[in-house]
Amino acid sequence: MYISLRVFRSSLLSCSVHKIMALRQSSDMSKFKEALKSAKQVVILSGAGISAESGIPTFRGAGGYWRKYQASSLATPGAFKTSPSLVWEFYHYRREVAAKAQPNAGHIAIADYEKKHSSDKQITVITQNVDGLHARAGTKNLIELHGNLYKTRCTKCKEVLVNTDSPICEALANRGAPDENVVGSDIPVKDLPHCQKPDCKGLLRPHIVWFGESLEPAVLSNAEAVMSTCDVCLVVGTSSVVYPAAMFAPQAAARGAIVAEFNLEPTPATPDFHYYFQGTCGTTLPEALAE
């Protein structure tokens, strides 16, 4: 009898949780816009989905391959140590693709919203993307969690510099095509990008947070600080599975901030949020952020 009662209580609790989640979630755009209008601190947390609408490959899931390699296997310190030439070919390809891409209506809506409300709201964009499209759209207050394709870091002196050269070095010209028949890379390491300091000349790497690496402490601290005080958070085109970013919005919702998700399909974190708007970011964001 005790076990049956416990199971019964557990079932009731489960039903109650699902009812609460169902009541919590809404696709009422006008109601969300009212909440946004009264907010003083707004955070927009973006992921690969918004950039995918500009033609940037997501490199996640079953289609996440470059040549015959799982893209995530190349985004590691170990891969760079073993074959820096191959990794640089991969990142040269990514730089060239991103350089040709244009910010879409979602990026532009975010930048315009920030510009319009710079005097009456604190607006911060936290992005997991490395393609620079938010900045190109005009966003100013931007935290790039995972780095930027157009920044390099010296493996010797650690200097970080912006580099938008195309190609970044002559040896990478016309290289990096996603041809499945190409295996490895024959570019000599001496011909890869190197630090220009006469007393250094260390090998450069993309200034990207790779798998197995931690976010820069200052970047993470800044992101956590704005997430801990925002009134409203927009989760835009992110699967909410990559940590630590995946915990940001659920934690904000748990402390009482209004969280709205804008995605093509629900994610594991969707039940934690107050609003869910299905569709492309280029369609839903201009409506949500318009006056």
The answer to the question of whether 47 is labelled as a binding residue is: yes
Q: Is 212 left (phi over 0), alpha (psi -120 to 50) or beta?
A: left
CA distance linking residue 270 with residue 85, whole number of Å: 40
Would you call 92 a catalytic residue per the annotation?
Answer: no
The answer to the question of whether 94 is labelled as a binding residue is: yes
The answer to the question of whether 50 is labelled as a binding residue is: yes
CA distance linking residue 255 with residue 46, whole number of Å: 20
The answer to the question of whether 89 is labelled as a binding residue is: no
Of 146, 194, 207, 274, the catalytic one is 146
The answer to the question of whether 290 is labelled as a binding residue is: no
Long-range contacts of 264-269 (CB under 8 A, 24+ apart): 264/49, 264/237, 267/238, 267/239, 267/240, 267/241, 268/240, 268/241, 269/235, 269/240
Rounded to 5 degrees, what angle do the CA atoms 101, 103, 105 make? 135
The answer to the question of whether 64 is labelled as a binding residue is: yes
Residue for token digits 């996640």? 60
CA distance linking residue 161 with residue 154, whole number of Å: 9
Residue by residue, DSSP assigns 32-47 as HHHHHHH-SEEEEEE-
The answer to the question of whether 150 is labelled as a binding residue is: no
The answer to the question of whether 152 is labelled as a binding residue is: no
The answer to the question of whether 184 is labelled as a binding residue is: no
The answer to the question of whether 30 is labelled as a binding residue is: no
Which residues are annotated as catalytic?
A: 146
The annotated binding site is made up of 47-66, 91, 94, 128-131, 154, 157, 195, 200, 237-239, 263-265, 281
The annotated binding site for NAD(+) is made up of 47-66, 128-131, 237-239, 263-265, 281
The annotated binding site for substrate is made up of 91, 94
The annotated binding site for Zn(2+) is made up of 154, 157, 195, 200
